[in-house]
Amino acid sequence: MSYYFVVVSPTDTPMFEYTFGTSKAGGSGQAHFRNGESSRYMNQFIIHAAIDVAEEVQWLSPNMWLKVIDHYAPTNSHISCFMTGTNVRFMLLHQPGGPPAAAGSRTSTLSSSSIAQNPLSPQTDEAIRQFMTEVYEVWVKTMMNPFYKIGDEIKSPAFRARVAAAGRKWL
């Protein structure tokens, strides 16, 4: 399962982007997107398109965690969204079905209920929610940083490291 995580500001600019793959069940932590090279820009397009839906769905639920809001069929990508109080969106694009089985042992450890295989299961949902909550905590701390101008790109390597750690832990 490959992930592409973006923090989108209220003015739709990306404040933070991070691509990674699953580390669970023998995954290497590297992202292997189905569409290969074109995923560099396609992922951005897909996330951007999902902002449409986020804007609509945000009024329907009082929660910050909006779950899977959109689905892009041609690459079988799902987008989940977590919305903060200041209209900052954490959007995660997850695409199941990573690299073709390099080693037979690898696939055998992936059970059908594992996160990697089934993007819509409640386990995946829960895992992503935990991930988002952790990122949210880190993000709040970043916001409180007096040297950080709100709306800017988040350049702090500590932030990146924490997000990566959260990814490894939950996803």
Q: What are the residues binding another protein (CB under 8 A)?
A: 9, 11-14, 40-41, 43-53, 55-56, 73-74
Q: Which is nearer to another protein, 102 or 150 (CB)?
A: 150
Q: CB of residue 127 vs another protein: minimum separation in angstroms?
A: 26
Residue 168 CA from chain centroid, whole number: 12
Which residue is it, tokens 């009024």? 59
* Shorter beta-carbon distance to another protein: residue 59 or 147: 59
Please identify, using beta-carbon distances, which residue of 56 and 137 lies nearer to another protein: 56
Q: How far apart are CB 16 and another protein at their closest, in Å?
A: 12
107-143 as b/e: b if 16+ CB within 10 A? eeebeeebbbbebeeeebbebbbebbebbbebbeebe
In the complex, the smallest distance separating the C-beta of residue 13 from another protein, rounded to whole angstroms, is 4
Return the residue matching tokens 């580390």: 23
